Structure formats: C-alpha cells, structure tokens
Structure 1
Amino acid sequence: MSTRPNVVWVSFEDCSPRFGCYGDPVARTPNLDRLAAEGALWTKAFTTAPVCAPSRSAVITGMHPVTLGTHHMRTNVGAHHGDKGIPRYEAVTPHYVRCFTEYLRAAGYFCTNRNKTDYQFIPPITAWDLPGGHWRDRPDPDHPFFSVFNLDDTHETRGWPGFFDDNDIDVDRIEVPPYFPDTPKVRESLARVYAAIEHNDRLLGDLLEELEEDGLTDTTAVFVWTDHGPLPRGKRWPYDSGIHSPLIVRWPGMIEPGTVSNDLVSTMDLGPTVLSICGVEVPRHLHGRPFLGPDAHGGRDYVFASRDRYDEMYDTVRASRDQRYKYIRHFDPAKPYMMWNSFRNNHPIMQEMWRLYASGELEGPPAQAMADKRPAEELYDTEADPHEIENLASDPAYREVLERHRAALEQWQRDVGDLGMMPEDTMVAQMWPGGVQPITDAPKFIVLGEEHHGTEASPEGGTFKGPVVLQMQCSTQGASIGYTLEDDALPDPPADLDAQFSAVLGHNPKGGDPPRRLLYHEPLRLPPGETRIRAFAHRIGYQRSAESVATFIVQAGD
C-alpha cells in the first residue's frame, strides 16, 4: 500500500457556507458537519472570480484567470445562449501553464474527474486518466489517486421553480440578507437553496461511505469547496456573498479534528496544496500557495478577485480583501449594477427585485443593489458589516485602509499582467490569429540507442538493435503529449463548439469519454519485441494534434 495520501475533492456549485458547521441554524448538513468535526474548517477562503468557469480555470491551473485569459464568461458558446454576440474561442493560456493534475499523473497518481470541467478551454486529455471516472476505476487498487466529484445540484438554477419545490425547510427561520427584499417569493427561493445543499450533503455522505467500504478513509484526504457563491448580488459579484467559499479538509492523522483556521486562503491554492501533501514539487510559476503539507505557507495578506464579461454583459471590476476589509474598484462606474443578463434574470429573486424596482417599491439596501450607477470605489469593514452594505470609501477615517488596498490591487494587477485591461477582441486576435484556432503539431518519435543517436525522427518506427530509449517531442511550445500502447484510436473532437461546451459541463453521454491515454513525461525504454505506439499532442487553447502512430521492433543486443 502506498504511503502517499489519496485525495478526493468534492465541489458544491454556487454555494456559500450555509452549513451547520459554519453556524447556520437552518442548514441540515450532517455529513459536512461530521467532516469538519473530523478535520479542519477554514473561515476565510475565497474564490478568484464569482462565476464558475473563470474560477475553475484558476483552480485547475493554480493561476489567476486574468493572467490566463480565462476571465471572461463564456468564451465558447453562441447558439447555446442564442445570438448575443458572445465570442467563440478557447482561451490560449501562457505556454508554461498546465492543468496541475499532469504533475500528479507524472508522479504516479491516477486522476479522475466526474464530470464538469468548464475552464474556458477544453482540457487536454492528458489532464485526467479518466475524465468521467471514479477512484474505483483505477487498474491497481494500491495505486494512489486523485478523484474529483462536482455536485451540481446547488447550481443557481436549482433555486428556480421546479427544483426542490416540495422541501420542508421552515421559511420563517431563514435569515434574508439585507440586500434582498423580504418577501414570500424570496424566502421560497432561499428555501430551495437550503434544500439543494441538504441534497448535496447526502451525496457527499454516499462518497464518504464508499471510501469507508473500500477501506480508504484513513488514507484519503477529503476536500470540500465551491467555485463561487449563489444568488443575485452574490454570483457574478466580488462581494463576500459571491466569493466566500466553504472549505473543509479531513486528512486523518495529519489534521487535528475540529481545527478551525482563520487564515486567508484562495481556492487557487487548492491545486498547489494537493501537490504539497502528495509530495510533488510545486512549480514556482504558480500563483497558488499550499496551505497544507511540507510546502505550506501561512495565510495570505490579501486575496484578489475579478469580474469581467459575463455572457452578453461587459464589465471590469477588481477586488481585494484582507482579514477584515474588502475593496472594490469599478472601472466602468457609469454602468448600472444590474446590467442585462438574460440567464440571471430567470432567477425568481431577480424577477422579484425587478418587479419591485419597476413599481418603485424597492428601498434601502435592495434599492442600492439595483442602482443605475456605481461609485468608482467601494470599501467595507466585513467584521462590522458582513453583508457589505455601508460603503466607507469616502469616509476620511478609513483613508489609510483605502489607500493601502488601492496600492495592493494596482500592484497585483501589474504582477499578474491583468489581461482584463485589454479589449477582449484584441486578446482573442492574439490567441487565435485571423480568428482561426491554432492546431497543435503532431509529436515526433526519436530513437536513442547504440546505433541510433537521435539525429533524425522515426515517424513510422522501424527495427532497432536494443537497448533502445524512445523520446517524444512536439514542436508546439507548451504542448502536452499523451500516448497509448493499445491500438485504440482517439475519436475526433466534436466539430461544433456547442457540443464541446456540453462535454465540459459534464453532459457527456455514458461511454462518451475518450480512451485513456498515458502522460508522456520521461523517455520510454522499449522492451525487446514489437511495440506499437499512438501519440498525440495538445496545447491548451489549441486544437489537438493528429495522432502519430508507429511500430518499433527492438532486437535483443549482444
């Protein structure tokens, strides 16, 4: 049995910490509460963006979306949302960026994801052993694994009528945030949110039971987190209601049960933390920092978040947060808070707010959330004002705090190369010259041995005197290479971007996952006899290459 820990991630979509273990008296979350009691709970974990795809791109790469070019939401659908002028492209990230799971795979981990990816790019097949798999699918039961489960029943759509309508949540006990009007429709929608969390809690319980059945509880670190918060004025906004994430980790024997940490952490730190606890070197270019394991850092001084184009709605907002204060910078303050977003407007709370806005009945914080223009800056004391209602930016008593956050935010933008300051069409033209998606070059095979010194490639293979070492190389900078020794060809990716979009949201039909490919990370020592290899290459944001196929016959040496 490996001494390296197994790791399970469970993400709750669109979910603020409305859990019992976070002190919510309405929540019914026995499995989350037990997990926190047996491990640790972080009170100040925050996402890098208040919507899923930019946030998830930071989680899978350990880097800020505004560095990657994944900060806009969506980038690869048009017909899916109708004709709204939404650009159709995949983000081409810097050449040194990888899905961090490739570092785990290179270290011997079996990596699975069920089912959503949604990173603003189609993840290379090399990112996962099985994109729709389970730890139980690993070929060797002693193989260490990293398995991700994305529970989507807390998605904002589950707050719409038709989902969890028959719940028995006591609406009179619900605390309505002050930025919402306190009406029956709002309370009914919040009750659906609690019912959805309770449902996901049961699914979490099923996964914990499977670990117990497999005898893996004591050797597996379990993480629970979210991609961003729910509800209008939460999702899509960098207030705490949009970026405050629950974070619970149970790691038997390594975390003291019942630990509560007030360290400031980012969900961008999740990947580097997994690398750290699994004994894998954390690449120095990552923005994320481990908060557990031998490479753990202390809490951050600041976390940062961004808001950009969301569907048909262009905006540019940046935020910084420290242990106490939240600073928000609006680069387009003349715009209203609630610009048109047709998907968001399906939400019953949003519809209720529009109804009251139109009739002139909104007042107080709900009216503030619907204001026709914004201040250039917002500053909140989150200890005294956890719902971020009283803007302190113009209060002279907080000038030092304001100036400190201004400077921190501007320095961060310089440090990470904030691409949100560039028009999206200019960025896309750099990523896809002429509006055409680049294609990854196919990998080449290079044979090294007593009689072969790598002076030329062997595209079709051949017969060689052993011993022989085989290198694979791709001339596209930043490409990953995957290969198999089985004779199962990769299917062509869907030509239609909307079909690819369905796949990244986890809508693949059963059996729709591509055949498994090994990650090429070191030269292969070919055994005597015949070896047939199929290999491909894929750089993030590019089209996958054609497969290179070759047969190598190695004759035993003298």
Structure 2
Amino acid sequence: MIPKLQVKIILSFLTILFFCLRAEAQQKPNILWVVIEDTSPQFIGCYGDKTAKTPNIDELAKKGVRFTNAFSTGTVCSPSRSTIITGARTFEMGTGNHRSQYPIPDFIAGFPTYLRKAGYYTSNNYKKDYNTSSQEKITKQAWDESSKTAGWWNRKSGQPFFAVFNFMGSHQSRTMTNPYDVYVKQVLDTLPKALQTGDNDFKVPPIFKDTPEMRHQLARIYNGISLTDYNIGKILNRLKKDNLMDSTIIFFYADHGEAMPKGKTNGIDLGHRVPFVVYFPEMYKNLSPFGTGGVVTDQLIDFADLAPTLLNLAGADVPAYMHGRNFLGKNSAPEAKQLLLSSDGSEGASNVMRTITNGKMSYSRAFMPFMPQMFYEKYFDFSDILQQMRKDFKNNSLSEIQKQMFETGTTEYLYDYDKDPWQTNNLAKDPRYKNLIEKMREDLKDSIIKNKDVMFLPGYELDQVSKNTTPYEFRLNTKDYPIADIYKAASLSGIKTETALKQQLALLHHANKIVRYWAALGLKSQGSKLQNYKKEILNSSNDSYMPVRIILASICYDHFLNQQAKQILIKTLSLAEEEKLQLLTLQMLIYQQNNKEFIPNVEELLAQKSTKPEAREVSELFLYVVKGTPLHYTTFW
C-alpha cells in the first residue's frame, strides 16, 4: 500500500505534468480555414449589407477580428489559389493567367508541407486548382488527405491540425453562369426558405440597371452566399461537437471579388477586395495583435501573407522565397503601407493589369486598354445576366455609370473605396489627385521592376521558357529578361499622344523581342492616328517574333486592309501545334473592326479534330461575338 504522502506527491507531479503538456500543446493551435468562392465584402452582413443572411460569418466577426482591407493577389480562382498554396506571388511564378499550366521550381512547396514537418495533420476538402503543372507534386507534399471526406477527424489523437474547407455555394457557376434551372437545383432546393432572398429584397448596386430581369439574376448572388454560410454552420457545429472550438483559430475569407460583371477577372479594387475574418478562442487571444470580440482593423493584408502567417502560428520556419509578411502572433511584422496586386486574364485572353492600393485609394493600370473592363470570356458571356447587360448596352438603355465596363478600356483608374465602394467614379483625371496619381504610378513601376514581374511575357513565350526552366527562374536573368526596358515599352500602352506613338514605332526595332511585343500591343490602342504612319508599320510587320507579327498583322489589316497581313492571320489560325499563337490571333481579331471576314477561317478551325481545347473555346467565343452564334452550354462545377 502506497503511503498518503507519496500519493499526494505523485498526484501533484501528474497535475504539473498535465498542465505542462497542455501548455506545450497550446503552443500549436489547431487552425481551420473556411474558404468561399467569388465574394465581395459588400454582400456580407458583418460588412454592412442588411439584406445578407450570413449569421455564421457574422458571428465569427462578432467574436473575432474583421479586416476591411484584405485583398486577393489575383481576380480569378486559380491564380489566387496558386499564391495561397505557395506563398509566392503569381507575377513571380508565371501563374497569373487563369488555367495556365507552367512549372514552378522544386524548392517552392505548398506551405502545408512545412506544417506537416512541424507535426500538424493537414487536410483539404477538397478544391485545389493551383494553376501550375506542379499541382500533383504540391498536393502530395502538402496534404495528409485531400478529398471530399478530408477533415481533422482523421488525425492522430491529440495531433494539431490545419483543415481547409472550400464552399462552392457562392461560386460563379451558381450565382451567374449556369442556367437558372440548374441554379435552382444547386442552391434554392438545398437552402432553407427562411434563408432565401427574393428578387425585391435588396438594393441594386448602381453599376446594374434596376429591372425585374436583373433583380431575378442578382438574387442568385445573395442566395449563393447564404447557402455557403449555411454550410459553414455545419462545419462549425461539428467543430463544437468535437469540443475543438476552444483550441482552434478560424480563418474565413473569399478567394477573390464577387463573380459578377465588373468584379471577377477585372483588375480593379472590386476584383481584388475580399471579406476576411479571423476568430481566436480564449486560449489563443494573445496571438491577435488587434484584440478580439468584434474588433475591426484597416491593416492591409493580401494572400501572399497567409502562408508566412500560418507558419509563424505553428512555430515553423518561413522559407526565403515567401515575401509576404506575418500579420498575427507575438512577432507580427510592421504594417504594410501599400500592396501590389495583379490580374492577368482568363480563358485564353491576356489582360495585364496592376494595382497599387493603400486600402482607401486604389490605383490600377491597364496595359491592354484596347479591351474594355468587361472583356469577352466564354464563361461570363454564357450567362443570362451578361447577355442581358450587353443587350441593354447595344440598345443604349444603360446609364453612364452602367456603360463604363463595356466601353473601350481606360488606361488608369483611381477609386476612393470609402466614398465609392462600387467604383463608379474614376478619379484618375481629377486634378485634385494629380500628386497622388504620380506617386502611385511611380510606386507601381518600381514594384514591377523590383519584383521582375514575369507576366509581362506573352503566353507563347511562357510556353517556350517552360520547356527548359521555370518562369520564376527565367525572370531573374536580367540579360534575357530586361524588365526595366520591357516595362518602359508597356507603360506607353494607352498613352494616345504623338510622342508616345513615335516612341512605340521606334521600339518596333528594339533588339529585345518582348520590348517589340509591347510596342506592338501599345499601337493596338492608338486608333485612327495609325493611318499617318502606315509606311513605318508595314515596314515592321514582318517581324521574326511571331507574337509581334500577329499583332502588327491585326493592325495592318484593321487599319490599312493589307492583304499580306490578312494571310498571316489566316495562316496562324491553322497552326494547330501552336495553341498560344492561335489564342493571340483570336484575341486580336475579337477586338478588330473587320473581323467578320474571318468567320469562315474560325469555323474551319473549330471543325478540325486537332484543335486544342482552349483554342476551341475561344473560337466559339469569337463566333458568338462576331456572328451571334449561341455559346455551347456546359454545366460548370
């Protein structure tokens, strides 16, 4: 029999050991991510929308920290997610264009890889979409499990977890693209009546015409987000049931801005700004530098900050290639004064835009302003809402504000988010903001050059580079990629002065082919002034670099009806083995005056079995734009 004194000593020892082990466990919090699709803060209750039915998100904000200046690093799904998973920005890796498949260096891993090494169980349920040919490698390294059944419940007893859940209810397929009857099955049939929003229950944003038809479509946004919130509630309830709420930090955010015209894929603030909330249980309140309990912060964060922040919370080292900052924990980094954001197009269409934001004021630069903000994309143009808006635009029944997204693109945008959350008043030419514009313009240039932004390469060149190296590594060689010279040429795009035009003409003779590419693209925006320089342009039109030759051929036939140029465009359309050249040609033709003449050639392209999927999609889009051929229906997601 053990003496009472010894029993007391043993019990005291066990008690101390228990608290020591508990304290050690508390150093590694559980982390839950609830990620929703395609949503702007304007449609969330805790951000001020009284119509929104988002009680679960609102409750997290009420108890946690709500960020008012959180931004995605891309304005469409896969580019954003490539930065989220790696901690490296798209303009470093070459992952900026939606649905591209370029490799990334072996030393760049999905950040959950480092969490696993730190003892975490990592699960992903279940979307990946990392926009790189390295996706399989990333998935294998990053996740203990990535599937529709993945969750913290499959970890070892007592093991800290990092669990991601992606919710599709607010995805563009539900809120905009899929036909209405499909939306009913995907959303309304699974959403309780009490959580549904009717067509007349909300205020129509000023960028949309207030009609019954538009309201019928816009209600889909509210219901899709409400369904997402409803499903978030189910995950939170399971967390509570498993007695994990008091040991789990919860992140809520959207992968980019709202999937509506002028939002998703658009490189302005509206495409980048996202709702973002972090909930800290009592056990980990000390890890919030902001406090908790409904705190609101205007601190700037973007998706490149997520990986280093989570690694810091887990006590893991942050790799040198992650250039984001840690914004949580005891050793959080100093606040950012401004962010550089990027948008590079989608579905075979390049549309390079860059944004500098300080949270309140956002300056965006369009480098291909021959296209409008609402450039043609099959995935968007299939939708009833956009077809209705294009019809209203054609019939001149939209207001000046509502027309903006369909008119020929503007070179610079400046928006005051606090006063103008729907970005209807472009302040770029307002003399009161002259000094601010000049500073942000210079900051943008410096940031692009400093980061060696590789997305100033055309898609064709990214393909060529990727045969021997990665875009990430290629951009570091200033001899092969003189970004300062390239940016100088690109920055002339949209500047419609004689001086700029003559500079572009001179740059058509530059030794670097990418400089010539941007000189040619810039001329695409010069319009009727090109008639005065017919001889100079024709003399440069037989460039040895095919992307330059294609762009100049488009200009020469569009403005001069040059028959040799027409033949170059026709021949390029037939190059089945060079899909990127076909895509560039189709993009040039879509925004060309005499494009109807190429209908037979595009129809022939579609008829060829050898035509690759993306070229097929954009060919269908061309015929829809030029001929009015209905787009082939596909149920997305």
Q: TM-score range by the shorter chain?
A: 0.7 to 0.9
Aligned to 1:259: 295
Q: How much does 1:47 deviate?
A: 0.6
Instruction: Find the partner of 1:376 among 411, 414, 437.
Output: 411
Q: Is the 8 A contact 1:37 1:258 kept in 2?
A: yes
1:407 to 425, 437, 442: 442
Q: Which residue of 2 aligns with 1:150?
A: 166
Question: CA contact under 8 A between 1:43 and 1:247: conserved in structure 2?
Answer: yes
Higher RCO by CA contacts (8 Å cutoff, separation 6 or greater): 1
Aligned residue among 122, 140, 145 for 1:111: 122
Q: Report if the CA contact (8 A) 2:124-2:151 is conserved.
A: no
Give me the whole-angstrom Cα distance separating, in 2, the residues matched to 1:315 and 1:62.
23
**Whole-Å separation in 1 of the counterparts to 2:240 and 2:98:** 39
Mark the CA change 1:287 to 1:186 in structure 2 (over 3 Å): closer, same or farther. Answer: farther
**Kindly tell me: are residues 11 and 423 of structure 1, through their superposed partners in 2, closer, same or farther at Cα, counting changes over 3 Å?**
same
Could you tell me which residue of structure 1 aligns to residue 375 of structure 2? 339
* The 10-residue stretch of structure 1 (231-240 or 111-120) with the greater mean CA deviation from structure 2: 231-240
* 1:174-205, Cα deviation, whole Å (9 max, x unpaired): 12221111121221222111111111111111
SS of aligned partner of 1:314: strand
Aligned to 1:203: 231
- What residue in structure 1 maps to residue 631 of structure 2? none
User: How many angstroms apart in 2 are the aligned matches of 1:52 and 1:278?
Assistant: 26
Q: Deviations over 1:283-305 (max 9, x none)?
A: 23212211111331243211222
Alignment correspondent of 1:192: 220
Q: Secondary structure at the match of 2:123?
A: strand
C-alpha contact (below 8 Å) 1:263/1:298 kept by paired residues: no
Deviates more, 1:65-74 or 1:308-317: 308-317
- Say whether the 8 Å CA contact 2:57–2:229 is kept in structure 1: yes
Q: Contact 1:67–1:416 (CA<8 Å) still a contact in 2?
A: yes
- The equivalent of 1:284 in structure 2 is 320
Q: 2:496 aligns to what? A: none
Give the counterpart of 1:41 among 50, 63, 66. Answer: 66
Find the aligned partners of 2:334 and 2:382 in 1 and give their Cα distance.
41
Aligned to 2:75: 50
Would you say the 8 A contact 1:159–1:347 is kept in 2?
Answer: no
Distance in 1, matches of 2:375 and 2:420, equals 25
Q: Match of 2:300, SS?
A: strand
Q: Could you tell me how far apart the structure 2 residues matched to 1:19 and 1:375 are? A: 30
Alignment of structure 1 residues 202-221 onto 2, 5 Å: 202-221=230-249
- Equivalences for residues 391-402 of structure 1 within 5 A: 391-402=426-437
Identity among equivalent pairs (%): 33
Q: Does 2:33 correspond to 1:9?
A: yes
| AA at the equivalent of 1:216 | L
TM-score calculated relative to the size of structure 1: 0.73
Shift of 1:25: 0.4
Matched, 1:72 2:97: yes
The aligned counterpart of 1:387 is: 422
2:257/2:272 contact within 8 Å kept = yes
- How does 1:133-148 map onto structure 2 within 5 Å? 133-148=149-164
Matched to 2:352, the amino acid is: T
Cα deviation digits, residues 244-285 of structure 1 (max 9, x gap): 111111111214221111111112212211111111122232
2:457 corresponding residue in structure 1: 422
Helix, strand or coil at the partner of 1:108: coil
> Residues 218 and 399 from structure 1, CA distance in 2 versus in 1: closer, same or farther, beyond 3 angstroms?
same
Counterpart of 1:492 in structure 2 is none
- Cα distance in 2 for partners of 1:243, 1:113 equals 24
Q: Does 1:300 align with 2:336?
A: yes
Q: Indicate the residue corresponding to 2:523 in structure 1.
A: none
Aligned to 1:23: 48
Q: Quick one: distance in 2 between partners of 1:266 and 1:353?
A: 31
Q: Are residues 142 and 180 of structure 1, via their aligned partners in 2, closer, same or farther at CA, if it must alter by over 3 Å?
A: same
Q: Which runs of 5+ in 2 are unaligned?
A: 1-21, 471-611, 614-635
Once the two structures are superposed, the pairs formed by residues 366-515 of structure 1 within 5 Å of their partners are 366-371=402-407, 373-433=408-468
Q: 1:384 to 1:145 in 2, by over 3 A?
A: same
Conserved in 1, the CA contact under 8 Å of 2:366 and 2:410?
yes
The alpha-carbon deviation at position 433 of structure 1 amounts to 4.1
Change (3 A) 1:72 1:40: same
2:279 alignment partner in structure 1:
250
Q: Does 1:326 align with 2:365?
A: no
Shift of 1:312: 2.7
Q: Deviations over 1:206-256 (max 9, x none)?
A: 111111111111111110011111211100112332111111111112142
Deviations 1:437-465 (A, max 9, x none): xxxxxxxxxxxxxxxxxxxxxxxxxxxxx
> How far 1:405 moved relative to its partner?
0.8
RMSD (Å) for aligned C-alpha atoms: 2.1
Q: Which stretch has the larger CA shift, 208-217 or 391-400?
A: 391-400
Kept in 1, the 8 Å contact 2:266–2:373? The answer is no
**Residue in 2 aligned with 1:504?**
none
Structure with the largest fraction of helix: 2
- The letter for the 1-side match of 2:143 is W
SS in 2 for 1:172: coil
Residue in 2 that maps onto 1:314 = 350
Any idea what the Cα deviations from partners look like across 1:410-445, whole Å, max 9, x if unmatched? 11112221111112211221112499xxxxxxxxxx
Task: Encode CA deviations 1:90-130: one digit per residue, 9 max, x unaligned.
Answer: 22123432111111111111111011110112242111111
Listed as ranges, the gaps of 5+ residues in structure 1 are 76-89, 436-496, 499-506, 509-558
Report the Cα distance in structure 2 between the residues aligned to 1:268 and 1:33, rounded to whole angstroms: 25
* 1:35–1:249 contact (8 Å) kept in structure 2: yes
1:128: which partner in 2? Answer: 143
Q: Secondary structure at the match of 1:315?
A: strand
Structure with max Cα Rg: 2
**Conserved? CA contact 1:186–1:348, under 8 Å:** no
8 A contact 1:157–1:347 mirrored in 2: no
Distance 1:316 1:19 in 2: 29
Per the alignment, in what secondary structure is the counterpart of residue 297 of structure 2? strand
Report the Cα distance in structure 1 between the residues aligned to 2:217 and 2:240, rounded to whole angstroms: 35
How far off its partner does 1:308 sit? 1.5
Q: Offset at 1:171?
A: 3.0
Larger displacement relative to structure 2 (362-371 or 110-119): 362-371
Indicate the residue corresponding to 2:489 in structure 1.
none
**Cα distance, 1:139 vs structure 2:** 4.1
Superposition TM-score, scaled by structure 2 size: 0.64
Instruction: Tell me how far 1:59 sits from its aligned partner.
Output: 0.8
Rounded Cα–Cα distance in structure 2 between residues aligned with 1:56 and 1:304: 17
Superposed displacement of residue 137, structure 1: 4.2
> CA-to-partner distance for each residue in 1:522-542, whole Å, 9 max, x for gaps?
xxxxxxxxxxxxxxxxxxxxx
1:384 shift after superposition: 2.2
Give the aligned residue type for 2:174. R
1:171 aligns to what SS in structure 2?
coil
Equivalent residue, structure 1, for 2:522: none
Deviation at 1:335, TM superposition (A): 2.2
Q: Distance in 2 between matches of 1:218 and 1:331?
A: 49
